[in-house]
Amino acid sequence: MVPTHTAADRGAERVVLDAEDIGRALTRISHEILERNKGADGLVLLGIPTRGVPLARRVGSRIQSVEGVSVPVGSLDVTMYRDDLRLRPARGLEHTEIPDSGVDDKTVVLIDDVLYSGRTIRSALDALSDLGRPRNVCLAVLVDRGHRELPIRADFVGKNLPTAHAQKVQVLLEEYDGRDAVLIVDSGPGESAPGSGSMEEDVTEVTR
Amino acid sequence: MKRHLLSAADLDRDEALLILDTAGEMRSLADRPIKKSPALRGRTVVNLFFEDSTRTRISFEAAGKRLSADVINFSAKGSSLSKGESLKDTALTLEAMGADAVVIRHSASGAPHRLANSGWVRSSVVNAGDGTHEHPTQALLDAFTMRRHLGDLDGRRIAIVGDVLHSRVARSNALLLATLGAEVTLVAPPTLLPVGVETWPVTTSYDLDATLPKSDAVMMLRVQRERMNAAFFPSAREYSRRYGLDARRMGLLDAHAIVMHPGPMIRGMEISADVADSERSVIVEQVTNGVAVRMAVLYLLLSGSGEAPETSENNTTAGTEALA
């Protein structure tokens, strides 16, 4: 997967987290999840495609190395539950994979790369309720960039990143982009800022 | 994908693969406690069937309902169509009712094309089989089924056997499979091959026994007696002996090869009962997959704004989202 529009097309970019920062943030989040849940019992990690999925796998392997047990990791596509589905051209679906243990009575941790408007997470909660009834649901994100449009907050945050609407946050991950980094990109001249309601998660997900 | 799905030839490789991949996700919906998605909530899908059908109509109905669309079934029998209403007046009625998609089956080749391009309706039109012309969603579900068993279809060899002349399934399959890179061989008596078949992206053969050993999938077609107005072969028995798939012929197939049939099948004619019920037969699975593929088609035609894909505001590429 190669980004079609490189950051250079669009103006200045700044690295706010490098590979080591991302690694440390994920390690801390993994420990916080275990602390909050008092162990790995009943945990199910669901990544939100695309970049939430490798993040969920990484958190899963960290939990395994700490606790010595493997936690079920899956992915949850929210495309069909988005509130802007009919405002934009039709989109293909990402892969949803629910671990065999299911989500009923589990502690589900939703994992995504960037928390912005909160609309993706609302979609994820709707998608999840069609899959079963978890005991509780919490949210882990690598970056919280603010500008919420819904009453949603993250339980575990890698980095709080104050941003302007006009800026874009781009998460690069080894699995898709060949390297780990979080960038803030200032919109280039002549380019309009993403309108209210556009999801940062879309903006950061470059291609499928 | 354009606004309509009228022909398998409308789809380029990327669009076809997008539908097939989306269908793969749709299929997993059937394994969930709630077999439903809200994607088409508030959309209306009309199934307009001028010709008898069991699985296609039920399949489209199930597909629409699983996506939360309102599905209206409209069949020729018991409607004003049997009183002589024209296609145009029926279309204007549907338009007045606010249909977002019309799934049409008609005995006249080209009826869906007429409906889509006449300006009578603004809705998307999906061809669910028109005369002896095309049946694109059947081809998609066949390709989907083959991909599940054979993987990538590039370079795979597919034999389509029987009444090609009257088969819209054969034409749509030949077009779609060629787009996907498969090599199609049509096997039929000379009288049941259409005029102009040499312009199709296929090879032809009159010898089933010679074709079977090198096929990855063999698709048997029903002999469409209802469309036959002449003697195309001497007797049913002779047809069956030369072009029917029985246990001996199935033995000629490679170990991994699958047996398909779009249905309805006539056991003892083009396919023997023991072959239809054998382990290699994926005929029942084809029906299951039909729902998933039609969900993908309806979803991709109807879920979005219907505008051209965005290119600049977001980083998404136009190519991967070129749909609807």
Give the span between the Cα atoms of B184 and B156, in whole angstroms.
Answer: 8
Tokens 């920062």: give the residue. A21
Prediction ipTM score:
0.83
> How confident is the prediction along chain B (324 residues), in pLDDT tens digits per residue?
679 999 999 999 999 999 999 999 999 998 888 899 999 999 999 999 998 888 899 999 999 999 999 999 988 776 777 677 888 998 898 888 899 999 999 999 999 999 999 989 999 999 999 999 999 999 999 999 999 999 999 999 999 999 999 999 999 999 999 999 999 999 999 999 999 999 999 999 999 999 999 999 999 999 998 888 778 998 899 999 999 999 999 999 999 999 999 999 999 999 999 999 999 999 999 999 999 999 999 999 999 887 654 433 333 333 333 333
Chain A residues with CB-CB distance to B34 below 8 A: 130-131
Give Dmax over CA atoms of chain B in angstroms: 65
The residue among A52, A99, A54, A101 whose CA lies nearest residue A77 is A52
Which three-class secondary structure state does DSSP give residue B234?
coil
DSSP annotation of B242: H
Mutate to test the interface with A, among B68, B316, B320, B323 (most CBs of A within 10 A): B316
**Domain locations along chain A:** 19-161
Domains in chain B with CATH codes: 8-134+286-302 (3.40.50.1370), 136-283 (3.40.50.1370)
Q: Give me the amino acid identity at A86.
A: R
Closest residue in A to B37 (Cα) is A80
Here the tokens at position A3 are 């980004």
Indicate the CATH number of A19-161 among 3.10.150.10, 3.40.50.1100, 3.40.50.2020, 3.10.450.350.
3.40.50.2020
Q: In chain A, helix, strand, coil percent, each to 5?
A: 30, 25, 45
Chain B from 18 to 77: CB within 8 A of any A CB = 18, 21-22, 25-26, 28, 32-34, 36-39
